[in-house]
Amino acid sequence: MNLNYNLEMEKEIDKIKDSGSVPTLLLHSCCGPCSTCCIERLADYFNITVFYYNPNIYPAEEYYKRKEVELEFIKKYSNVHKIDFLDCDYEPEKFNEAVKGYEACREGEERCYKCYNLRLEETAKVAKENNYDYFTTTLSVSPHKNSKWINEIGLNLGEKYNVKYLMSDFKKKDGYKRSIELCKKYCLYRQNYCGCIYSLFERQEQERDKLNENR
């Protein structure tokens, strides 16, 4: 069955509004730019903690630059509910182990599934350990990310760790466009590749091909 994940999120938010509660949400963020529209959409209904767990990002300088951009946005963004930030160690060896044997995949193929699962499982674990009401991720805001994979992984991990996964498809309702607008508004750095070394090489290859076509 094909679910409309954005609609499912809106239904859950309606239930929360009717209850008058403000549940806690551990929001895995892949980067500041992607988190912008997600936080904007969720911040009125949840006490959000942004969880920056991205061992896939290469090189280390890029990892720390993206983390600083995330912190910059959280600091600048104003909302009635406070937004917290939960940091973690940079562990690229865990990403390398998770995608071993899938290095030759193109972006959007099985290697990405392994990467989604790695980051979402850590989010689910931390959500359970710290008694969050919900967990979810910003990953689905990108038009290059497979929302069906992301939500299936999230729902399975929610069952595994007994913590509620908030279904989402943040690219819906012009979410990606809105993220670009918010980056401009807050003057945020936007990266030009997904994050891992393989996506970096793929982007460089695309740029070389484009350059050769224009010669």
**What pLDDT is recorded for position 210?**
76
**What pLDDT is recorded for position 79?**
85
Preceding peptide of 55 cis, ω within 30° = no
Give how far Cα 186 sits from Cα of 72, 183, 192, Å: 9, 5, 18
The mean pLDDT of 154-163, rounded to a whole number, is 98
**What pLDDT is recorded for position 206?**
84
Res. 157: pLDDT tops 90: yes
Q: What are phi and psi of 134, to 5 degrees?
A: -140, 160
Q: Which fold has domain 5-213?
A: Rossmann fold (3.40.50)
Q: Closest by alpha carbon to 34, among 74, 82, 76, 70?
A: 70
Token code pair at residue 133: 């009401």
* DSSP output for the chain: ----HHHHHHHHHHHHHHHT---EEEEE-S-HHHHHHHHHHHTTT-EEEEE---TT-SSHHHHHHHHHHHHHHHHH---SS--EEE-----HHHHHHHTTT-TTPPTTSHHHHHHHHHHHHHHHHHHHHTT-SEEEESGGGSTTS-HHHHHHHHHHHHHHHT-EE----TTTTTHHHHHHHHHHHHT----SS-SSHHHHHHHHHHHHHHHHHT-
pLDDT tens across 169-181, in order? 999 999 999 999 9
pLDDT tens across 71-126, in order? 999 999 988 888 999 999 999 999 999 999 999 999 999 999 999 999 999 999 99
Res. 201: pLDDT tops 90: yes
Res. 211: pLDDT tops 70: yes
Q: What is the pTM for the complete model shown?
A: 0.95
Res. 55: pLDDT tops 70: yes
Question: How do the domains of the chain map onto residue ranges?
Answer: 5-213
The mean pLDDT of 19-25, rounded to a whole number, is 97
The mean pLDDT of 127-154, rounded to a whole number, is 97
**What pLDDT is recorded for position 1?**
63
